[in-house]
């Protein structure tokens, strides 16, 4: 995290009890409007809150602005929240937002999870939510490098009980073959334009193999939830 995001500490946008410092990079246009209208990541946040209960350890993959992590920290008595994102400057903003709101217990990591530990390219785009590990022909993006941590090793070390996943098309490969022992709930934002029909089948197959069934309480549109009995 290089701290290059320009943040105005005198101005804030309030959304659902959280204060978001105004900046010239991330809180622009549509994002500002959604925050002001309390509509930013509404379905994903609702699912994450329903999935999480006191004492849980949450893994927030593609944590972005820190909105979901902040809401969980404020509204649920969790043991810990671990956020991961490939965009370093976005994480700098998320850290500033959490500090502004006096939120601790959230650990943000500039890293992504995968099947093998390595360093991989990450493509930063505008809007920031479109950033991903996947190059897209004809689209403008800034290629950066990010550490990929081993998914299995990370799950063993952190022992999450809830996983929230919004990683712009990486969800199918990440969950495929993952050992989800000890995980009670999984919430995934699907990106069908990137993963297609086959990728969506992979998500449902991976969670089913882990003993997690589709949970309609957590699901709405592209947000799908899975849970134990």
Task: Give per-residue pLDDT as tens, 6-30.
Answer: 455 568 999 999 999 988 888 988 9
pLDDT tens sequence across 170-218: 999 999 889 999 999 999 999 999 999 999 999 999 999 999 999 999 9
User: Is residue 55 pLDDT above 70, yes or no?
Assistant: yes
Could you tell me the pLDDT band of residue 4, with boundaries at 50, 70 and 90?
Answer: very low
What does the pLDDT read at residue 7?
57
User: Is residue 92 pLDDT above 90, yes or no?
Assistant: yes
Q: What is the mean pLDDT of the chain?
A: 93
Stretch 108-121: mean pLDDT? 96
Cβ(203)–Cβ(163) below 8 Å = no
User: Is residue 51 pLDDT above 90, yes or no?
Assistant: yes
Closest to 225 (Cα-Cα) out of 168, 172, 166, 164: 164
Determine which helix (DSSP H) or strand (DSSP E) holds 113, and give its type and residue range.
strand 112-114
How far is residue 93 CA from its own chain's centroid? 14
Closest to 174 (Cα-Cα) out of 211, 199, 156, 137: 199
What does the pLDDT read at residue 9?
58
Stretch 42-64: mean pLDDT? 98
Determine which helix (DSSP H) or strand (DSSP E) holds 9, and give its type and residue range.
strand 7-15
Place of tokens 């809007």: 127
What does the pLDDT read at residue 29?
86
CA atoms within 13 A on the CB side of 52: 30
What does the pLDDT read at residue 10?
61
Q: Look up residue 225 and give its two tokens.
A: 């939830």
What does the pLDDT read at residue 223?
98
């Amino acid at each position: 995290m290089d701290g290059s995001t320009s943040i105005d500490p005198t101005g804030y946008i309030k959304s659902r009890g959280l204060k978001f410092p105004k900046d010239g990079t991330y809180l622009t246009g549509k994002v500002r409007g959604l925050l002001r209208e309390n509509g930013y990541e509404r379905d994903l946040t609702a699912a994450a809150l329903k999935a999480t209960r006191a004492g849980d350890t949450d893994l927030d993959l593609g944590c972005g602005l820190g909105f979901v992590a902040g809401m969980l920290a404020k509204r649920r008595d969790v043991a810990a929240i671990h956020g991961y994102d490939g965009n370093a400057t976005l994480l700098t903003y998320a850290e500033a937002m959490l500090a502004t709101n006096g939120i601790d217990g959230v650990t943000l990591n500039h890293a992504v999870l995968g099947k093998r530990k390595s360093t991989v390219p990450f493509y930063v785009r505008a809007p920031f939510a479109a950033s991903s590990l996947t190059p897209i022909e004809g689209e403008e993006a800034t290629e950066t490098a990010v550490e990929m941590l081993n998914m299995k090793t990370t799950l063993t070390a952190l022992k999450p009980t809830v996983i929230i996943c919004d990683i712009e098309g990486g969800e199918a490969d990440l969950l495929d073959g993952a050992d989800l022992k000890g995980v009670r709930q999984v919430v995934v934002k699907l990106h069908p334009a990137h993963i297609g029909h086959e990728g969506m089948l992979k998500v449902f197959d991976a969670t089913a193999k882990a003993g997690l069934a589709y949970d309609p309480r957590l699901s709405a549109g592209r947000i799908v939830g899975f849970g134990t009995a």
